[in-house]
Structures are given as structure tokens and as C-alpha cells.
Amino acid sequence: MTQVPPRRTRSGGRAGAARRRGGEVIEQMPWNPPLLVDRPVEPLTDEGVYAIHDGAMRILEEIGIEFLNHEALEILRTAGCTIDGENVRMGRDMVMEYLALAPDTFTLTPRNPDRAITIGGNHMNFGNVSSPPNYWDLELGRKVPGTREMCQNLLKLSQYFNCIHFVGGYPVEPVDIHASVRHLDVLYDKLTITDKVAHAYSLGPERVEDVMEMVRISGGWTHEEFEASPKMYTNINSTSPLKHDIPMLDGWMRLARRNQGLVVTPFTLAGAMAPVTMAGAVAQSLAEALCAVVLAQIIRPGAACAIGTFTSNVDMKSGAPAFGTPEYMRATQMTGQLARFYKLPMRSSGVCAANVPDGQAMWETSNSLWAAVQSGSHMVYHAAGWLEGGLIASPEKFIMDCEVLQQIQRYLDPALWATGPDEIALDAIKSVGNAGHFFGIQHTQDRYTTAFYQPFLSDWKNYEGWEAAGGIWTPERAHHIFKDIIANFEEPPMDDAIRAELADFVARRKSEGGAPTDY
Amino acid sequence: MTQVPPRRTRSGGRAGAARRRGGEVIEQMPWNPPLLVDRPVEPLTDEGVYAIHDGAMRILEEIGIEFLNHEALEILRTAGCTIDGENVRMGRDMVMEYLALAPDTFTLTPRNPDRAITIGGNHMNFGNVSSPPNYWDLELGRKVPGTREMCQNLLKLSQYFNCIHFVGGYPVEPVDIHASVRHLDVLYDKLTITDKVAHAYSLGPERVEDVMEMVRISGGWTHEEFEASPKMYTNINSTSPLKHDIPMLDGWMRLARRNQGLVVTPFTLAGAMAPVTMAGAVAQSLAEALCAVVLAQIIRPGAACAIGTFTSNVDMKSGAPAFGTPEYMRATQMTGQLARFYKLPMRSSGVCAANVPDGQAMWETSNSLWAAVQSGSHMVYHAAGWLEGGLIASPEKFIMDCEVLQQIQRYLDPALWATGPDEIALDAIKSVGNAGHFFGIQHTQDRYTTAFYQPFLSDWKNYEGWEAAGGIWTPERAHHIFKDIIANFEEPPMDDAIRAELADFVARRKSEGGAPTDY
């Protein structure tokens, strides 16, 4: 806490209060998921793309992937895969045939249809940090296990910020709730505190079915309506190298059958669970992801699938994972090239290795977020709030990341580089001539309120002005905004009957004991 | 100083000591200016490029630029420009004809020929922060006017880091030295502390001639050798809107006559000294820059010229300049497209508005440095050490920026995305199969020492390891590295006779009174 002496906290608090306008804690950009307008950055030549594709195919043909789920094994055997115990091999012709069935674009529609998001094409969407077991904020000044209240507060940030377009897994794991019923309480919180696209962990049949049912209830949908188009999604991780486990595959198949969104993200750290060479790590990641997409397409031709990348490197001196590195950036761009080769939507992440929301956290996170833009990513997980390689969720980091995400949204607005006569502004330049300034002229007055990105966290005052306002460093300013948002948070509207039905479902499932925890 | 309690400083000091290996304070990347290998990011269509070009040409043809220097006016009049008082108009045919004489690539060779840099093509070079009047470090914890010692320390950092390829202006203005002789003392320091390409401020004939003579002496060159190819450079700024002042033009012409490097960088803040629309601000910036290039080409056909961009926006609520914004990034990319259209080398910058080396400083600086990469910039000024919109130089920020610069150099290394059989690594994947890990295998052992970027400042330990090491935030770790580098700094070798000749020159010019300060 030496970072935040009490006096500063109070002075910052006043600054926070001063920021309020018209009931809003901050002035933020409207809900408007950005469109990717630039050519992606593509390090690989066509030959390079083919070499990685060929590598992925040879892994599937010659080495095989272990599927620990026997139901999945039977489905793959029937479809013509070569099964040897739990090892599954499949030929590239079969793989490409099933990949061709997957849509290149799909829509996820939450209980609030105005918050529907498109996955694929040139659509980009940001999600909150997901699944850290621990929490850190400036007031605590230390790392602590997550609680339901911390999880609720991070869900409130996820709902509050218009630059957060979908809600991933638990923004922090509330370990104060027993694992058997945790999914019930958190999904109740998630579905009442937010009205954005929700996610189900594939951690056993009961949890998956409970979450799908709660999402169905939240939208007031019949079962038929729920299954008519994707309303939610799951994300599964392979157990690298080359393995898919029982519960992940179970959830994957359950959501496929009910036509929900499917994202598969191998976690291939080069030098640890994958080759030390990035091309090999990407090829392995693709092999692990593509065979899951094949399984989904066998179960439901046309199932909504996206492949994720989590290929980074480890510190070869300590074995510690590294994030937001040059290797991470290029692996993400390379995966983007292959995702376009396979015509599949892509998911990447906003990540860092830093333990606190300082300079390192922001250059690592900026690297990973710009790589998401450069790679043409459609879903960006962990885009706000991630620290310590995903082991810590931080509200200050969440606020800081949202400032960067808003800047990315503005960066992608073509109005910024319009070149019509009004933008070239020759008459304005002529009117000012060789002296004077542009502040007062009509051309400026007509545009100044919307001409430039307006930050809510960045402090653009000069040093003296910044010092007079308390000399507050970025994470502390973020802390005050966090407190203000929580203090002023209003839940999105929900029909009382639906809220009651959700509560009844949670109560009934708790009385039945929730989900088994002996796996 | 609440950011740095004494105990932490000591523990960090130990950490700093532990970092030393073989006399080196840190393990850094070797001298190796990066090559731009990616397609630039190009927001403008061909029509957009032409619209901005046409705007710039019409500014030169219809509005004109004020040249306050009468010698320049006569040269431009003789060459066929339309002169009205101090207003100069020139037709696009004449402009394009003279621009065609400028080389698309040139070399700057300092006293150490191993530190020669190429400006143009796909060559990228980073320079230190230049010209802040003030200094901030974590130990002081406040903003103070620059001194010679602070300037010397920042010059030592500029020499120490291999990712700094040229030395710009004074890394901080040493206001404790009288302005009449400041250039003599700082150039003596710069030429003895560093052996990299040096710069002369265009602040009056005496200063410019003194600096050129001292650079000539530092290389042991005859006058003929000095003028045979560029050994140094100047950077001039127009007085936006649409004006070039007397001393800047004087220095520009003096260096052109002696075949030295010429960089012209308009400082066009959209909404203040340029139109509120980025396309207009870029068009105005180009008009101001291109007419200076024309002047140089009239004086010396083939003169080594580069155009700079410093187009950013102001906060329209306060008028404060903003840096590293989405508008700054796109303006830099747009200028890059136009620089390629004119076949001229380009200079951009590493900038931020933040007042301290915190998260905001690093997302703003990351934005500007990635924009430099995306725009195809050949010279990146202020790439390390800049705070408060250029009003503060900070050694901690310098160290933090060098970590980012090294990551950019690694990012641009094609070895990272090689896709040969050794990189696809099918045999390695086969050998590990569905279990185990890649740490121990030969494929990893053969490559792990060079496979990944190795940071010198980023802390990749987990939270507990980081806490056990003192729980030190990034700027404080940077502070300890700064202290260690200064404590262990060794000047590059210089012939005693040359050092004596430099000292004699400084002594003589001081005895003559140095340069007048009444301008």
C-alpha cells in the first residue's frame, strides 16, 4: 500500500467525484463493437502458411490426438478416424471436409438482443478477464483468493463498460462458494448483473446443463428458441501436448448438440507443452484445435466454432510463462493467417506477466492487444483485468485496460482518416494563413466535440496541473474510478418473473446438491 | 517518493547487483538496427493519398509559406518561386522536380564507423529523448530544471544501450550552463561520452558552425572528408502554421552546403496550429516540410533530407497536447504513406503525455512506437526517456522504453517465424507425443538460449517470487538499473590527440565568448 498513501486516496476520491457528469461516473464511448479495417499483419509467406498447415495435418495423420472421452471416441470412429486406444488419427481430406462445414461467421445473442455480437468477418469483440483464482486491488495491496463480492464487482465493471462486448468465465474464481454450487450463484450474478453474452465452463455435465438452462431462462426462450441460434458459448482448452480431456469434450459435445457457440483454445507454451520454435508451437496448437472442430461438425454440421490461440513462450531460465512478448505477438499473427486459411473465426487474448498494474503490465498488455488487432482476432478474451499470467484479477488493471480498448475502438474508426474536402480543410488553412491558430475558427468549432478520442483515465494535464490534483499515478486514479462505478452501478432491467424463475432454479438445484465435485 | 520506500530501494539495489554478469550491468541485445519486414499499415486508399498530396500542393501553390530568412527568400526567388514579401509560393511541378533530386536513402557516419546508420529503405533507427528543459527521477520524486550532470547521465544511457542508434539533441537542457557556451560543453560531453551519430540544433550560425567543426574534429576528418558524406544531422521545426523562422533556415542551409543530414519536422497539433481534421493537419505538415526539402535541393541537388511528422491532437477541453493517441497513430501511418509517395525517408517519435513513468506513460509510448513501426519510420526520435509531452526527461522512463525497443527489435527478427522442417519440429512433437513436456528434449536444448526474447527489466516471476524479491514496481526496478549503469559506465575509446583538440576548441570558443544569446 506504499503506492497509495491515505491522503492521496482522499484527494483522488474528490477527483473521482468531480469526474461525474449527468449521473455517469465517466464519459465513455457508446456500445459499438469495432470493425477490423486494416490489412492484417502477416509475417508468413504463402509457403509458410502451407508449411504450418502441413505440420498440423501430419500431427493429426501420423501422431494423433488423445481423446479421453469414450463417447467422443465412438463418434470419431464411426466418422472414419483411426482409433488406437484413446489415440485418434484423422486424414487431412476428412479434416478439411468437416472444417468446410463450419461457418466463417456466427452470431451470439444474449438476453438483451441489443448486445448480440457477431463472431467472424471483420467483427472484433472484447471480453473481461476470466478464471483467475486470485484478486488484487490497491486498497488491499496484496494478492488474496477471490470471493463472490469481488466477482460481482468485476461483473459490474464488465457490464458498465461499453467496450466490453461479452462476459467470459468467472472474472475471478469465488472460492468462498462451494464448488458444487458455485456455478449456480455466479451464473445468477452474471445473468442479473449483466445482459451481455455469457459463457459456460465445460466442467462436467451438471454444470454445463445448469448453465445452459439458466441462460435459456434469462432470455425467456423456449428450448426450441434457445437452440434456434447460439445464445452463449463455451471455451475448452486441450491438455497440451495433444490431448483432450473428459469434461471439456463432454461440454463441447453438449453445446454442439444444442447449437451453442464453441471455442477451442490450446494452451501451447513454446518450450514447455509445445516445441521451442514458434512455427511448431502454432502447428501443434492448430492440430489440437482443428480436431475438436471436426468433432463438433460431425455432431452438428454447421456448428458455430472458433479456434483460439494461446501460444506464448516461457522464460527458459525459470520456466515461468511469459505473455505479451514479441514471440506471443508473432504467434498470434501467424495463427490469424492460418485461421483465415481454414476460414474459421479466431479468438486471442489481452495478457501480461506483470504482477501489478504498472508500466510492464501496460506494455505487455498493449503488445497483446495490438497483436489481436493485427491478427484479425474476432474474440479477445481477458481484454480487461488480467495480471500475473492470469492468476490475478485486478479492478485497477480492468479500468486501465478499458482505456486502451476504447483507444483501439477509436483507432479503428475510419472517420479518423477521412480525406474529403472538409477534412483536407484548405479553406480553413487559408483562413488562418501564416499566423494565428485554429482554436477559434468555425471549422474547428463545428467538430471539436467529436474530433478526438476523449480519455476517461489518462491524465493529459501538465506536471504542475497533475501535481496540484494530487500527483496521482495511473493505478490509483483507476482505483477511484472503480470505486465510483461500483458505488453508482445500476443493474440492467430484467423481468421480475424471469428473475424469480432464475432464483427458483438456483434454489432447486442447490437443494439437489448442485454438481458433484469428485472429478 | 512514496513510490520508493528506502527498504525497497536497498533490496532493489541487491537485485541490481545480482543482475551484473561479466562486468555488464544487464544482458542486452547487440547493436543491430532493425529492418522493417512487414507491410506498413496503410489506412489511406490511393485516392486518399492523392487527396492529401493535392492538399499539400495547393497550400504551397495558393497560400504559400512564410520564409523569414532573406537569404532563403533570394534562393527561392532565383529558383522561380513566387515571392510576396516573405510569403513563398511554388508550383507542384517545381516541387516534384526538386523532390525527385532527394535520395530515398542515405547514411550518417559518426566518429565510430561501426555506428553508421542508414536512413531510408527498410532501415529503422531509434534515438534518445531530446530537448526537455526539465528532469524527473524516482529519487528526486519531483520535476527540476536540467543540469549538465543529468544531461551527461542521459548521454551515458544513450551510449550504453545498443537499441539507441543515434543521439538526438540534448537529452535534457542543461540550464546550469550559460546559453552562450552550452552547445560547446554539451557537444564535448556528447562526442566524448558517445560514439554514435550526433545532432546540431539550428539555433544561430555560430552554434551550427561550432557543432559541425567539433563533429569534424571528433572523426579526425579533413574538411573534405567531412563534406564527402553526411556525418551528422540537424532537425528543424517549422513555426506552424506555414512559417519557417530565421535561425532554423540558416542552420538548414549551412548543413545543406556541407552535405550533412537534414530532417524537417513540422509540429502540427490538430485543432491548434493545424486543422482539427487529421487529413488537413497531415497535408499542412507535408507542405511545411516539403518546401524546406525543395530549398535544400536547390542549394545542393541530392542533399540528404528526411521529413518528420509530429502531427497529434490537443485535448479540446483544455488545449493540452496529447501524444500516443489513436489520432497520433493514424496521422503517423498516413504520413508514412505520403513519405513513400514522395520517396523520402521519414522520421517519427516515441511520445506520451504522462507526467510519471506509470501505466499511462507506457500505453501512450507503446502506441507511438508501434505507430513508428507500422508507418515505416526510418528515424524514431525521443524513443527513450520522454515524459510530459517532451517537457521532462526521465532515466527510469529511458530504461523502460529500452525494454520496449528491444522487444520491437526482436519482433522484427524473421528467425522468429521461420517455418523450415526444424521449426515445424514434427520429430520433436512425435518424440514427446501425448504426454511429457518439451523442456528436456534435444530440439529444445539446442535452441533454448536464443529461442526467446530475454528481458532485462520485465519481471516474469510469479507474485510470490516478485514479492519475495521486494515487491518492486517497474519504475523502481528501472531506477536501480539506471544507477548501476551510471556507476559502471565506461566511455568509448577516443584518441588523446582528438580529445585534446576538442578541449582546445571548446576553450578557444569560450574565450571568444561563445555564441550570441540576444536572438
This complex has an ipTM of 0.95
Listed by number, the residues of chain B in 373-392 with a beta carbon closer than 8 Å to a beta carbon of chain A are: 388-389, 391-392
Chain B CB contacts of A386 below 8 Å: none
Which triple of cell numbers denotes residue B205?
Answer: 550560425
A466 within domain boundaries: yes
Cell 517470487 sits on residue: B465
Q: Across the interface, which of A357, A364, A407 has its CB nearest the CB of B326? A: A407
pLDDT of B274 above 60: yes
Specify whether A188 is located in the same domain as A161. Answer: yes
Together in a domain, A113 and A173: yes
Q: Which residue is closest to A53 within chain B, CA to CA?
A: B424
For residue B451, what is the DSSP state?
S
Distance CA A212, CA B153 (A): 62
Compare all CA atoms of chain A with the CA of B86 and give the residue at the minimum distance. A434
Which helix (H) or strand (E) segment is B347 a member of? strand B346-349
CB atoms within 10 A of CB B491: 12
pLDDT tens profile A106-135: 999 999 999 999 999 999 999 999 999 999
What's the average model confidence in pLDDT over B354-371? Answer: 98
State residue B312's pLDDT score: 94
Q: Do both A350 and A467 map to the same domain?
A: no
A-to-B residue pairs, Cβ atoms closer than 8 angstroms: 419
pLDDT for the residue A22: 38
Q: Are residues B476 and B335 in the same domain?
A: no
The span from the first CA to the last CA of chain B, in angstroms, equals: 40
Residue B65 lies in a domain: no
Do B219 and B294 fall into the same domain? yes
> Could you tell me if residue A464 is inside a domain?
yes
* Contacting B residues, span 34-93, partner chain A, CB-CB under 8 Å: 37-39, 41-44, 47-48, 51-52, 54-55, 58-59, 62-66, 87
| A179 phi, psi to nearest 5 deg | -60, -25
**Same-domain status, B265 and B225:** yes
Verify that B465 and B343 share a domain, yes or no: no
> Do A484 and A503 fall into the same domain?
no
Domain presence at residue B273: yes
Q: How does strand B87-89 pair with strand B65-67?
A: antiparallel
Angle CA(A309)–CA(A315)–CA(A321) in degrees, nearest 5?
40
Q: For position B156, which CATH number holds?
A: 3.20.20.480
Instruction: Record the cell numbers describing residue A9, joined without a space.
Output: 486516496
Distance CA B181, CA B467 (A): 49
The answer to whether A364 contacts chain B (CB < 8 Å) is: yes
Helix (H, G, I), strand (E, B) or coil at B377: coil
Per-residue confidence (pLDDT) for residue B317, from 0 to 100: 82
> Are A259 and A353 within one domain?
yes
Q: What is the DSSP string of B204-258?
A: -HHHHHHHHHHHHHHHT--HHHHHHS--EEEEE---SSSEE-HHHHHHHHHHHHT
> Which range marks the domain in which residue B473 is found?
13-27+454-488
- Rounded to a whole number, what is the distance in Å from the CA of A177 to chain B's nearest CA? 24
Q: Cell match 467483427: residue?
A: A123
**Start-end of H helices in A380-511:** 395-411, 421-424, 426-432, 442-445, 463-468, 474-487, 496-511
Which residue in the block uniquely carries the three cell numbers 495480471? Answer: A387
- A393 and A480 share a domain? no
For residue A16, what pLDDT is reported? 38
Ranges of chain A with pLDDT below 50? 1-23, 519
Instruction: State residue A319's pLDDT score.
Output: 86
On whether residue A132 sits in a domain, the answer given is yes
pLDDT at B4 over 60: no
Taking a contact as any Cβ pair under 8 Å apart, which residues of chain A between 128 and 147 contact chain B? Answer: 134, 136, 143
On whether residue A61 sits in a domain, the answer given is no
Residue A313 included in any domain: yes
Percent of chain B with pLDDT over 90: 93
Amino acid at B332: T
B 142-201 → A contacts, CB under 8 A: 143
Same domain, A360 and A316: yes
Cell match 507425443: residue? B433
pTM for the full predicted model = 0.95
List of residues 6+ apart from A17 with CB closer than 8 A = A484
> Which cell goes with B56?
499539400
Of the candidate ranges B1-15, B79-93, B142-156, B306-320, the one whose mean pLDDT is the lowest:
B1-15
Of B280, B411, B461, the CB nearest to A423: B280
Among candidates A42, A408, A463 on the partner chain, residue whose Cβ is nearest the Cβ of B391: A463
Same domain, B221 and B276: yes
Instruction: Please state the domain count of chain B.
Output: 2
Is pLDDT at B424 greater than 50 in this prediction? yes
**CA distance linking residue A511 with residue A509, whole number of Å:** 5
Structural domain includes residue B480: yes
pLDDT, tens digit, 9 for 90 and up, residues A459-517: 999 999 999 999 999 999 999 999 999 999 999 999 999 999 999 999 999 999 999 88
